[in-house]
Structure 1
Amino acid sequence: MRLHCLWLYLNKSYGTTLDDFAKEKKIKAKQKYDQDKFRFKMKSEEYFSPLRIHKMQNT
């Protein structure tokens, strides 16, 4: 299992557990996704464009 170096720092400094770290990362990723979708909607653009879908499938 690979550990994130930021979690190692937070664990030593603040006693953050790995579960708490994972929950925070998941929440921040969801917020970023929602903000990106909102920005695309305000620009009247499609978030899941054919190019974006192609990139996601090839990663």
Structure 2
Amino acid sequence: MEAAGFRDVHVVQKSRFEIEETGIDAYARSIAGNFDVPPEAVREAARSVLSVQVFGRKSA
């Protein structure tokens, strides 16, 4: 964001992406089957997703 001309950039809020365990399992099986990735690696990646709210100012 700073490279785009914003200043006073900071993270306002971070929260985990909410997905039920049953949803993770279905998602993991689908991705694992399509990309030859172990299902547990997909589950771990899905649990690490964050939603981030940021703030920055840009002069007019």
Q: Would you call these one fold, judging by a TM-score over 0.5? A: no
Structure whose residues are more often helix by fraction: 1
Structure with a larger share of its residues in strand: 2
Q: TM-score, normalised by structure 2?
A: 0.37
The two structures have a TM-score, normalised by structure 1, of 0.38
